């Protein structure tokens, strides 16, 4: 099996994720336009959140357990048990996928009504087959990731998003004449077809590798594990991970239902409350771009740390933890600053019919820093075996988040912004608990908050530069062209390019990017970095 370093694996997954998220950013505004605004998008978003919860309950634990198990077996050269554990997990997940798909289909009406969005029923029904196909995909992704081969996962993500974009928009437009509920159901067809195409690609890739004899035999002296031992490991790994991620998604789902209910208590009419929930649905895909990139870092770091722990290599564990925290802040902090500073022009470009929603982005962009840091912490603690403790801390954070939202959203002057404040308070609670756990239980030297300083400094310069470039260029273009949308779009693109350049230069000057980080860059791009820039970088 072809192995990749943690940095290279992250780079490959990041490219795949960025491509799929760019497609997603194209998808959401087009879908909003087809459905007719933020109110019907709120219905679609609720259906998708229900699907996301069932997806997590089905797929969060076992694929992660596969990744962790396979990486441990490969590190100890027990290659046969790595394949056996994968096959056992594949059987379990396929049975679980069929069961959850049936439950989702037949309980769709009840679940949608409990969410205060009964019109989401058809969309939930249409999404149910996707659970089975994603179960198959997740099994193979976990196996490839455990073998430190991230390419199949990256390619499958792109395939999935291409199918989603094409077929969801097509069927949403076809079914629109039947009503909004039917159009929302049509908008989910691409998700199912994309999951199916992704599963087929991963299965074919695995079979090609198997026929080429990539799976290595065990060397002499390696002790095999019994089926019972492997099954116990799967359960011990999968159960707490499923509960941890599942409760986070359940908290998000409850928030959506609770947000609308509390908005009604605050005095908003039903259609206005639904529209505000739709505005939240527009904001989420934008902050999800950097979040999902760093989710790939969490995906890569779990098997890497698990493998190092299996052979008791504490130096490697510490190195990978520090690398993960440093990279987390290098990506998350400028992303939050950029999305906040350019929130208004971003909404004008992507959601021209609902520009008022940019205020949610202006306030809420910093949430992504907390979410990214929490994901990295969780993967590290799961990698070193603190599965149950990190799950309990996650539940505490979710409870704090829900309670804060419940209080704040019902205050008319705060309304939906209460969900942002609640997210920050809830995530901060879990982050602090995780940090103290890491300090107390991990006998390796690591740094977390120290890595924030340089990205914050570089982001301040970046934010000022992007703000100045945008508003100066937009003023000039408006005077010349008189076409506000094109002037905004061109000025926004130039401001984003300026932001990337300024951030990179300042970060290099202050020592935030090192020569070793160049491993993350494609060879062709690395060769284009000026020699003078490379010379001032630290090793």
Burial letters 508-529, b for 16+ CB under 10 A, else e: bbeebbeeebeebeeeeeeeee
Could you read off the pLDDT tens digit of each residue along the chain, which spans 539 residues? Answer: 455 555 566 666 666 666 776 676 667 677 777 877 666 777 777 888 788 778 877 877 777 778 778 877 777 777 777 888 888 888 888 898 899 999 989 988 888 888 777 888 888 888 889 999 988 888 888 888 777 777 888 888 888 888 888 888 888 888 888 877 788 888 888 888 988 999 999 999 888 877 665 556 666 656 777 778 888 887 877 777 777 777 766 666 676 667 878 888 888 887 778 777 777 777 777 777 777 766 666 666 666 676 776 677 777 777 778 888 888 888 889 999 999 999 889 888 877 766 567 888 888 888 889 988 888 888 788 777 787 888 889 889 988 988 998 898 888 888 888 888 988 999 999 999 998 888 887 777 777 778 888 999 999 999 999 999 999 999 999 888 877 888 888 999 999 999 999 998 898 888 877 666 555 554 544 555 566 565 655 55
Looking at residue 9, its pLDDT comes to 60
pLDDT digits (tens, 9 = 90+) for 362-377: 888 888 899 888 888 8
Calculate the CA 238 to chain-centre distance.
19
pLDDT digits (tens, 9 = 90+) for 286-333: 777 777 766 666 666 666 676 776 677 777 777 778 888 888 888 889
Looking at residue 391, its pLDDT comes to 84
Contact call for residues 456 and 333 (beta carbons, < 8 A): yes
pLDDT digits (tens, 9 = 90+) for 256-270: 667 878 888 888 887
Looking at residue 531, its pLDDT comes to 61
SS3 of residue 292 by DSSP: helix
What gap in Å lies between CA 408 and CA 429, rounded to an integer?
Answer: 17
Rounded to whole angstroms, what are the CA distances from 155 to 134, 198, 478? 15, 8, 41
Contact call for residues 181 and 43 (beta carbons, < 8 A): yes
What gap in Å lies between CA 404 and CA 254, rounded to an integer?
Answer: 13
450 CB neighbour count, 10 Å cutoff: 12
What gap in Å lies between CA 190 and CA 270, rounded to an integer?
Answer: 29
Looking at residue 212, its pLDDT comes to 67
Backbone φ and ψ of 489, nearest 5°: -65, -50
Looking at residue 232, its pLDDT comes to 83
Q: Which 8-state DSSP code applies to residue 236? A: H
Identify any residues that bridge with 538 across adjacent strands, giving them in sequence order.
514
Two tokens, residue 51:
């699907």
Backbone φ and ψ of 197, nearest 5°: -65, -40
Q: What share of the chain is helix, strand, coil (3-state, %, to 5)?
A: 85, 0, 15
**Domain spans in the chain, listed from the N-terminal domain onward:** 6-215+228-447, 453-536
Contact call for residues 104 and 121 (beta carbons, < 8 A): no
What gap in Å lies between CA 334 and CA 463, rounded to an integer?
Answer: 8
Looking at residue 503, its pLDDT comes to 92
Look up the pTM and report it. 0.69
Looking at residue 222, its pLDDT comes to 63
What gap in Å lies between CA 63 and CA 146, rounded to an integer?
Answer: 10
DSSP-assigned letters across all residues of 68-94 = HHHHHHHHTT-HHHHHHHHHHHHHHHH
What gap in Å lies between CA 18 and CA 16, rounded to an integer?
Answer: 6
Calculate the CA 312 to chain-centre distance.
30
Looking at residue 538, its pLDDT comes to 58
DSSP-assigned letters across all residues of 431-496 = HHHHHHHHHHH--S---SGGGGHHHHHHHHHHHHHHHHHHHHHHHHHHHHH--HHHHHHHHHHHHH
pLDDT digits (tens, 9 = 90+) for 416-463: 888 889 889 999 999 999 988 888 877 777 777 788 889 999 999 999
What gap in Å lies between CA 322 and CA 32, rounded to an integer?
Answer: 41
Contact call for residues 49 and 374 (beta carbons, < 8 A): no
């Amino acid at each position: 099996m072809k192995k990749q370093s943690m940095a290279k694996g992250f780079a490959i997954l990041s490219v795949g994720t960025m491509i799929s998220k760019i497609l997603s950013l194209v998808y959401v505004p087009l879908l909003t336009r087809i459905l007719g605004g933020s109110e019907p998008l709120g219905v679609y978003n609720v259906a998708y959140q229900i699907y996301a919860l069932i997806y997590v309950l089905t797929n969060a634990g076992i694929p992660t357990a596969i990744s962790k198990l396979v990486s441990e077996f490969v590190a100890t050269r027990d290659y046969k048990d790595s394949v056996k554990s994968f096959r056992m997990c594949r059987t379990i997940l396929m049975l679980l996928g069929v069961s959850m798909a049936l439950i989702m289909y037949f309980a769709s009406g009840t679940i949608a009504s409990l969410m205060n969005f009964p019109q989401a029923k058809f969309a939930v029904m249409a999404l149910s087959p996707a659970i089975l196909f994603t179960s198959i995909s997740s099994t193979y992704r976990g196996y490839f990731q455990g073998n430190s081969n991230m390419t199949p996962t990256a390619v499958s993500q792109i395939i999935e998003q291409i199918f989603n974009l094409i077929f969801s928009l097509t069927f949403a437009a076809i079914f629109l004449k039947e009503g909004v509920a039917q159009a929302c159901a049509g908008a989910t067809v691409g998700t199912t077809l994309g999951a199916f195409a992704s599963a087929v690609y991963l299965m074919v890739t695995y079979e090609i590798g198997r026929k080429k004899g990539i799976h290595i035999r065990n060397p002499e002296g390696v002790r095999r594990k019994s089926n019972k031992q492997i099954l116990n490991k799967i359960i011990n790994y999968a159960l707490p991970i499923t509960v941890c991620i599942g409760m986070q998604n359940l908290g998000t789902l409850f928030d959506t239902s609770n947000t609308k209910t509390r908005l009604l208590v605050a005095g908003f009419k039903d259609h206005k409350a639904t529209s505000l929930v739709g505005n939240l649905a527009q904001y989420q895909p934008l902050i999800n771009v950097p979040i999902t990139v760093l989710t790939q870092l969490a995906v890569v770091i779990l098997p890497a740390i698990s493998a190092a722990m299996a052979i008791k290599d504490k130096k490697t564990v510490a190195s990978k933890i520090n690398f993960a925290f440093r990279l987390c802040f290098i990506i998350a902090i400028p992303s939050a600053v950029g999305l906040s500073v350019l929130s208004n022009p971003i909404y004008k470009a992507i959601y021209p019919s609902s520009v008022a929603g940019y205020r949610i982005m202006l306030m809420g962009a910093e949430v992504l820093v907390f979410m990214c840091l929490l994901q990295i912490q969780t993967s590290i603690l799961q990698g070193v075996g603190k599965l149950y403790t990190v799950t309990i801390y996650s539940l505490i954070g979710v409870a704090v988040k829900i309670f804060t939202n419940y209080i704040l959203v019902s205050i008319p002057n705060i309304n939906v912004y209460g969900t942002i404040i609640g997210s920050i308070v809830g995530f901060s609670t879990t982050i602090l608990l995780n940090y103290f756990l890491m300090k107390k239980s991990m006998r390796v030297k690591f740094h977390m908050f120290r890595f924030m300083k340089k990205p914050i400094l570089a982001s301040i310069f970046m934010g000022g530069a992007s703000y100045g470039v945008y508003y100066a260029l937009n003023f000039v273009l408006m005077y010349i062209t008189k076409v506000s949308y094109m002037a905004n779009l061109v000025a926004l693109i130039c401001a984003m390019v300026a932001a990337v350049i300024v951030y990179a230069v300042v970060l290099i000057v202050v020592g935030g990017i090192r020569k070793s980080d160049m491993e993350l860059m494609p060879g062709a791009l690395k060769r284009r970095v000026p020699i003078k820039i490379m010379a001032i970088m630290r090793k």
